[in-house]
Each structure stands twice: as structure tokens, then as C-alpha cells.
Amino acid sequence: MNVKNKTIVVTGGGNGIGRELVLNLLAKGARVAAVDVNEAALKETTSLAGDNVNNLSTHILNITDNSAVDKLPQEVINTHGEVDGIINNAGIIQPFVRISDLDFSAIERVMNVNFYGTLYMVKAFLPYLKKRPEAHIVNISSMGGFVPVPGQCVYGASKAAVKVFTEGLYASLMNSPVKVTIVFPGAIGTNITDNSGVERPGGSGKETEESKIKPLPADVAAENIIEGMKKNKVRMYVGKDSKLLNILYRISPGFATKMISKQMESLLPD
């Protein structure tokens, strides 16, 4: 779907990939409803919109609040006249700890934001999207949704749930005007650790030092996602690491798991 003159809703639009998606969509001539729980972050996104700010609306919303999400489609339609697509980008990671040390409150928070937030958005907007001549749903999973990452077991489970949910959604909407895309980003240059309220493993910056693959800039990731949306791609792997691990995990799951575990070992407490 070409996004020009379309109205697209982006969750997590206050920072990271979400902010870059908002700015990129605006630059391509779309109308955008940016959703985030952080008012200050949305204001910063607005300040960066420049001449395109008149095509931007911001919505302070907790996507884990089902009743609030249910009201969002009409708010967007009241502002922009219609809604043609949603990009479910909002997500958080868990503390870098072993599952035996992970509090249930953290487990529920991750599942609520990553899976239920995505589910609530789809359920709320789908009736409106089905009425459009063409529409699009983009759900952002993660590389961790198809390969195991020690210290991020619940995060991975939440993103795997998004993966399978989206694949089922694609199958059920094949004969409708609504196209569906699932995205698997690898390491992206964002502040997801800080934005998730998670302490950086091993101290500030250590995870960057440990990584052998340079994170993909968030604006490049956003451009790739929107291009995939334009081409109606069903599945996207964003970043060299995601593409490589997709192939490697299919060929040898055991080898890929050992490789990831070795890289993550120093980031986990004893």
C-alpha cells in the first residue's frame, strides 16, 4: 500500500523506530496518528515533524488499556477523516535475568504491552480497516520471536505470540482489502532498554561493546518497514543479524542457539 494521502496509526511513536516511522510517513505524504504513553516523547516527535506537523496528531494512550484502545479509532477518524493502516510498533524488553529470577509483575508487563497491546489495537481497528478500499496492518515482532535469547525468555515468548497471531491474521484476511505484514527487526539503534525501565546489563554501554554486529539505525529500519508495507510484503527481516539468524536457525537450530547463548552469557548474572 502506497502511504501517500493515507492515514496511518503508529504505536510507540514517541521514540526509537516508532518516531522514525512517524517522520518517514509524514515525509511520504501520509497523515499520521502517533500513539505513546509518554507525553513528553510525543511532544518531541511533534517538534521534529517540521512543515508536516499539520498532518500529525498525537494520542497519549496506554495500549494495555483495552477500553481506551477501543475509543482510539473514532478519535483518529474525527481528526483525519479516515484510517487506512496501523503499525503496531510499541514494545518493551524484560530485565536481563534468568527466568527463575524474573518477577511475575515484569512477566505480565511485557506480555501486556507486546502481545495484548498489539491484539487490542488490531481488534479495535480491524472493523474500520475492512471498510477501506485498501488497508494495511503491520505488526512488529522481533528476531527474539523466532530464536531463543537467554535473559529475554518472556520477551521472546511475547514476540513469538505476535508472530503466530500475525500469521493467523494474514491467513484469515487473505481475501479482504486488508494486507498484513510481520516484521522481525534485529539489533536496532534505539533506547529500548531505558524506555523499558530496564537496567543495562553489566553497566552502561556493555551490551554495545559485546555485540559484534553494529545496530541498524532506527531511521533505516523505518524506511525498510515502510517500503515493505508499500510492496505488501508478508514477512520482513530487518537488519543483517535478523536475516542471518533466520537462515542459520532454520539450518541448524542447535548451533544457532549455542552461538546466541555464548554471546549473552556475560550479560546475565551468575
Contact (CB, 8 A) for 125 and 87? no
Of 155, 170, 237, 249, which one is the catalytic site residue?
155
* H or E element that contains 169: helix 153-172
Task: Give the burial class of 223: count Cβ atoms within 10 A of its Cβ; 0-12 exposed, 13-18 middle, 19 or more buried.
Answer: middle
What is the distance between the alpha carbons of residues 223 and 220, in angstroms, rounded to a whole number? 5
- Cα–Cα distances in angstroms (integers) from residue 266 to residues 103, 232, 257, in the given order: 21, 40, 15
Angle between helix 66-80 and 117-129 (nearest 10): 40
170 is an active site residue: no
Query: Given phi > 0 = left and psi -120 to 50 = alpha, else beta, which region is 147?
Result: beta
Handedness of CA 166, 143, 59, 26 (dihedral sign): negative
Contact (CB, 8 A) for 236 and 184? yes
Q: Which residues are catalytic?
A: 155
